[in-house]
Structure 1
Amino acid sequence: MKKKFDIRKIKIRKVKVDEIDDRMLLINLYATQVLTLIIGIIWLLFQHQNLLAVMAPPRSLDAVWWGLGLAAAVVAIDLLISRWVPEDASDDGGVNDRIFRSRAVWHIAVISLVVAICEELLFRGAIQHAIGPYWTSIVFAAIHVRYLRHWIPTGLVFSISYGLGFIYEESGTLWAPIIAHFAIDFIMGLIIRFRRES
Structure 2
Amino acid sequence: MFPLFVRSLPFGLYIVMLVLEGLLPDWAPGFDVRWLYPVKAGLVTLALAVLWRHYAELRSYGLPVRHLLLSVSVGVVVLVLWVNLDASWMLLGEPGEGYNPTDEAGRLDWMLVAFRIAGAVLVVPVMEELFWRSFIQRWVQQPDFLNLHPARIGLKALLITSALFAVEHLQWLAGLIAGLAYGWLYIRTRNLWAPIIAHAVTNGALGAYVAATGQWSFW
TM-score bracket, normalised by the shorter chain, equals: 0.5 to 0.7
Distance 2:117 2:75 in 1: 15
What displacement does 1:182 show?
A: 0.3
Alignment of 1:177-196 (within 5 A): 177-196=195-214
Alpha-carbon deviations, 1:140-166, whole Å to 9, x = none? Answer: 22333xx1xxxxx11110110111000
Which segments of 5 or more consecutive residues in structure 2 lack a partner in the other structure?
Answer: 1-19, 103-107, 141-156
Kindly provide the amino acid, as one letter, of the partner of residue 36 in structure 2.
M
Alpha-carbon deviations, 1:115-135, whole Å to 9, x = none? Answer: 111111121111111112222
* Aligned CA distance change for structure 1 residues 97 and 33 (closer, same or farther; 3 Å): farther
User: Which residue does the alignment assign to 1:27?
Assistant: 39
Alignment of 1:119-198 (within 5 A): 119-131=128-140, 132-144=157-169, 147=170, 153-196=171-214
Structure number with the bigger relative contact order (C-alpha 8 A, sep ≥ 6) is 1
Distance 1:72 1:128 in 2: 23
What is the TM-score when the length of structure 1 is the normalising length?
0.66
Distance 1:15 1:31 in 2: 18
* Percent of paired sites with the same residue: 18
CA contact (8 A) 1:17 1:93 kept: no
Over the aligned positions, Cα root-mean-square deviation in angstroms equals 3.6
Alpha-carbon deviations, 1:66-122, whole Å to 9, x = none? Answer: 21111121122234446xx47x968642334459x6445654552111111111112
Q: Secondary structure at the match of 1:15?
A: helix
User: Which residue does the alignment assign to 2:69?
Assistant: 65
* Aligned CA distance change for structure 1 residues 14 and 74 (closer, same or farther; 3 Å): closer
Kindly provide the amino acid, as one letter, of the partner of residue 21 in structure 1.
V
Q: Secondary structure at the match of 2:160?
A: helix
CA contact (8 A) 1:55 1:174 kept: no
User: Which residue does the alignment assign to 2:23?
Assistant: 15
